[in-house]
Chains A and B, each alone.
Chain A
Amino acid sequence: KAGVTQTPRYLIKTRGQQVTLSCSPISGHRSVSWYQQTPGQGLQFLFEYFSETQRNKGNFPGRFSGRQFSNSRSEMNVSTLELGDSALYLCASSLTGEGYEQYFGPGTRLTVT
């Protein structure tokens, strides 16, 4: 089975711009979660989607949003980028998300200048 894929792998954006990251889960997995990883804050949960609905949300401002499509693929969007948004964004998929292990993609490294 193919693993979780994320595109793009690297991205450089300017403050104020917006960005969309994409995630394709493992075939058959219906839950997709997003995490932000930074040296200072570590790994932080952004949100989770299951069957095209946001099921859980972390403590991030409304500039961070996401969606899931009927084929379970997911996108996350960050609007009005700030320097502090520079991070590794990780996507993870699991069968249903409810206590099942999550499998992570390679991440998208976002740099905001």
Chain B
Amino acid sequence: AQKVTQAQTEISVVEKEDVTLDCVYETRDTTYYLFWYKQPPSGELVFLIRRNSFDEQNEISGRYSWNFQKSTSSFNFTITASQVVDSAVYFCALTVYNQGGKLIFGQGTELSVKP
């Protein structure tokens, strides 16, 4: 069975601080895909990034960066110089090969960025 754990339930930072959201996953499959989604107060889940199990290259997109480490089964997300607009619930998710469109989500981390 697959599992995603986001141990941080809530994080509060002040604007311009850097913040890292942790994600630990469990699967016995060798081919799998990891995702991060953002859910702002409006409620709609917004896709941020996708990674497959064969690509451990870290990625940077503007103020966002992701660190994928298979050795520790982690896929952490860092926001640099956080802004109030980053306030949202962030979800890490996992799917495995041959499971089609079945995403297993973590419980989410609620990030609050205060001015």
Contacts and interface: CB of A to CB of B under 8 A. Distances in A.
A44 B35 CA distance: 15
A108 B91 CA distance: 19
Given A42-B107, A43-B91, A99-B95, A56 B44 contact: no
A101 B43 contact: no
A91 B99 CA distance: 17
Interface string B45-76: 11100101000000000000000000000000
A42 B108 contact: yes
A7 to B, nearest CB: 15
A104 B40 CA distance: 13
What range describes how many residues of B lie at the interface? 20 to 34
| Interface residue SS majority, chain A | strand
A48 B101 contact: yes
Interface string A1-44: 00000000000000000000000000000011101000000111
B106 to A, nearest CB: 8
B102 A105 contact: no
Nearest to B32: A99
Contacts of B33: 99
B43 A33 contact: no
Contact of A50 (B50, B91, B100, B105): B100
A88 B100 contact: no
Interface of A: 31-33, 35, 42-45, 48, 50, 55-56, 58, 88, 90, 92, 94, 97-107
